[in-house]
Amino acid sequence: MDDSGGCGRAAVALPLPLPLPLPLPLPLPLPLQLELLCFFQISMPQ
């Protein structure tokens, strides 16, 4: 797997696959939002 973009680290940092609504209502920093998006793309089946 290609770990460019921190997808692997995001998946490790967020082990709980919470069904959060996107976009997130919290004012999160853009890098964190991108990691969350990447994490959900990996964890959720297409």
Q: For residue range 4-35, what is the model confidence (pLDDT) as tens digits?
A: 554 554 444 454 555 655 565 566 677 777 77
**39 belongs to a structural domain:** yes
Q: Which amino acid is at 11?
A: A
Least Cα distance to 9 among 46, 34, 27 occurs for: 34
**1 belongs to a structural domain:** no
Which residues constitute the domain of residue 20?
A: 7-43
Identify the band that residue 37 occupies on the pLDDT scale cut at 50, 70 and 90: confident
**23 belongs to a structural domain:** yes
**28 belongs to a structural domain:** yes
> What total number of domains does the chain contain?
1
**Contact by Cβ (8 Å): 8, 1:** yes
**16 belongs to a structural domain:** yes
**36 belongs to a structural domain:** yes
**Using CA atoms, how far apart are residues 46 and 44, in angstroms rounded to an integer?**
6
Q: Which amino acid is at 34?
A: L
**The model's pTM:** 0.33
Residue 46 reports pLDDT greater than 70: no
**Using CA atoms, how far apart are residues 13 and 31, in angstroms rounded to an integer?**
14
